[in-house]
Structure 1
Amino acid sequence: MSDQNSARSNDERDEVQYDPNSGRYDIYECTVSGCDNVVLVVGSDDPPMSCHDQLMERVMDVEMSVNSPDVRQVLLQAFGLPKAGLDICLCVIGEGPLSANEVAEQLGYDRSTVTRYLNKLVELGLLRRSELNREGGGVVKVYHSIDLERMRRETLIGFYAWAGEAAALIEEANLTKQDYLEKNPDQELPDVFWESFLDE
């Protein structure tokens, strides 16, 4: 896969802002005091989201902007795949069905590396494996893209799991910061405080 086909870097990607009128997705929040439940809805919201037996309200006033994601970054963050794994996944999705040898030849990767990641991608549910009979006899394992709807679901669930873990980490950091400042009201927060979260 050439550098021209690779994803744009974060700095090169446009910033986007949540647009509640786009229809692509919606963000809802609970209106009950003290509840911080926020959910992401992709597709139709039928029946409407609810929390504490009350309908949740669509978020309409978000002012923050984020970098526009690309599929490589989403797969990287949601499934923890390095560049080689992403290249292999996207190669099979675009060109499959392919054998491990064919993927290795197309990408210039070592066959053992390709086989390892192909097996991982099958385990994650992003690819499927089958056997084809060769014309000269014998069988060869080939890899295919899974059903697009299933891939969409697996990718969304994987990303939501990652986002949930990220939100939980932010919450833990905030609570720990608050606890530290309450116990040390006359001290600034040391840099080493944040380093403890980088190591986790």
Structure 2
Amino acid sequence: MAPFESELAVYTCQSCGECQLASAAPTCCGEPMDEIDETVPVESPDESHLMRAVFDISETELEVCRHLMSENELTVDELTGLVDRDRSVVTRHLNHLVELGMVEKHSRVLSNGGRVNVYSHRSADAVRRQFKLGLYTWLTDAVDVIDDLSEDKIERLVGGADEDDRGPVIVEEDE
């Protein structure tokens, strides 16, 4: 079965001004909505920005993925040497990537006895579908956040708040 491919567009209601993202003209206020060409001037995401913003994937996790894409399967110890990070950091990143559905984890029996976990990449189509699903889920939640913005919150976002009212600055570090 071919994957569902449909061009998404932004539509607006001429009556109330509501906007929607859809693959075909939705209705609002009893009328079909109009497709709009105007956009809000935002910077288009690159791979790294999108992965960080939506999936909380760090540069190190992207590096781990690139190594897994070039090999059939790798152990934590092998990846630790390739990305030059501590074993615990690599393990944490791999667990996150498994949770996101980008990487698969298997147990392999060693020739001298015992077992070791090995990690492999999923197919590009499977990862792409997983990313689209995650992005659509994130987008739906993001629209809900915007819909929940009160007038007071919007005024503060636009610049009505004093610098002291903004709260602490959080700096994220990539491990």
1:190 aligns with 2:157: no
Q: For residues 102-117 of structure 1, what are the structure 2 equivalents within 5 Å?
A: 102-117=78-93
Q: For residues 1-200 of structure 1, what are the structure 2 equivalents within 5 Å?
A: 25-31=7-13, 33-34=15-16, 36-39=18-21, 41=23, 48-52=24-28, 55-59=32-36, 61-173=37-149, 175-177=151-153, 189-192=160-163, 195=166
Q: Contact 1:129/1:143 (CA < 8 Å) preserved in 2? A: yes
Instruction: Classify 1:141/1:38 alpha carbon distance in 2 versus 1 (closer, same or farther; 3 Å).
Output: same
1:69-125 CA distance string (max 9 Å, x none): 222221111112333333323332343421111111110111111112211211222
Instruction: Classify 1:95/1:32 alpha carbon distance in 2 versus 1 (closer, same or farther; 3 Å).
Output: farther
**CA-atom RMSD in angstroms:** 3.5
Q: Contact 1:88/1:103 (CA < 8 Å) preserved in 2? A: yes
Separation in structure 1 between the aligned mates of residue 16 and residue 147 of structure 2, nearest angstrom? 15
Q: Contact 1:29/1:57 (CA < 8 Å) preserved in 2? A: yes
Report the count of equivalent residues.
163
1:129-166 CA distance string (max 9 Å, x none): 11234344443221122232221122123223334444
SS of the aligned residue for 1:67 comes to coil
SS of the aligned residue for 2:8 comes to strand
Instruction: Classify 1:31/1:62 alpha carbon distance in 2 versus 1 (closer, same or farther; 3 Å).
Output: same
What is the deviation of 1:38?
1.4
What is the deviation of 1:68?
3.6
- Percent identity reads 25
- What 5-or-longer segments of structure 1 have no aligned partner? 1-22, 42-47, 181-187
Separation in structure 2 between the aligned mates of residue 152 and residue 30 of structure 1, nearest angstrom? 29
Instruction: Classify 1:68/1:143 alpha carbon distance in 2 versus 1 (closer, same or farther; 3 Å).
Output: same
TM-score by length of 1: 0.62
Aligned AA for 1:195? R
Q: Contact 1:74/1:159 (CA < 8 Å) preserved in 2? A: no
Instruction: Classify 1:152/1:197 alpha carbon distance in 2 versus 1 (closer, same or farther; 3 Å).
Output: farther
